[in-house]
Amino acid sequence: MELFSSLVGETVSEKAVSEKALPLVVFTLDEQRYALPLFSVERILPAIEATRLPKAPDIVLGVINVRGQVIPVFNIRKRFCLAEREMRVTDHLILGRTRKQIVAFTADAVIGLAEHSEEKFIDANALVPGLEYLEGILKLPDGMVLIHDLKKFLSLEEEMQLDVAMSGDVGSVGHFS
């Protein structure tokens, strides 16, 4: 796996990648490495505090304002059954595309952009059929990277709850330009 320079503050599509490799954005939560396919990541920003969103699903921390667009922030730690912790100044927000909208979630660190070959990839359904959120696992000499699918991150019920909460007046929200 080859890692490229930091992606913080950049629009991810600006990075050049090889057409033969499957590009991933790699990040950490606690000491575990996770990844999202590059095509699902919009951009990466320094973390800012989210404004609470009434009636949102429990998995939503709140919303932020990025260049005039109100974006929900997911509690990815809760989804992955990790210990909760306060946001730190060193954390980042990863903005990505789901089926319906741009969403954000916090990451402890963003390692960078990785390229990997298909032979090092294990399909999640080949390991344990029915794993939600997990697209696959990347086998590396120094450990594994769990590859997630943002399109499957919310259940249909959570999507409907979020739609209702986002349709209301969210008032003044944390702003990022």
Number of structural domains (the chain) is 1
**Residue range(s) defining the domain that contains residue 38:** 2-176
Q: What pLDDT is attached to residue 19?
A: 43
List Cβ<8 Å contacts ≥24 apart for 54-62.
Answer: 54/165, 54/168, 55/161, 55/164, 55/165, 55/168, 56/161, 56/162, 56/165, 56/166, 57/154, 57/157, 57/158, 57/161, 57/162, 57/165, 59/154, 59/158, 60/162, 60/165, 61/106, 62/173, 62/174
Q: What pLDDT is attached to residue 2?
A: 39
Here the CATH number for the domain that contains residue 156 is 2.40.50.180
Q: What pLDDT is attached to residue 21?
A: 62
Average pLDDT per consecutive 10 residues, the chain (177 residues; last block may be shorter): 44 44 88 91 93 86 93 88 89 90 92 77 74 79 85 79 76 49
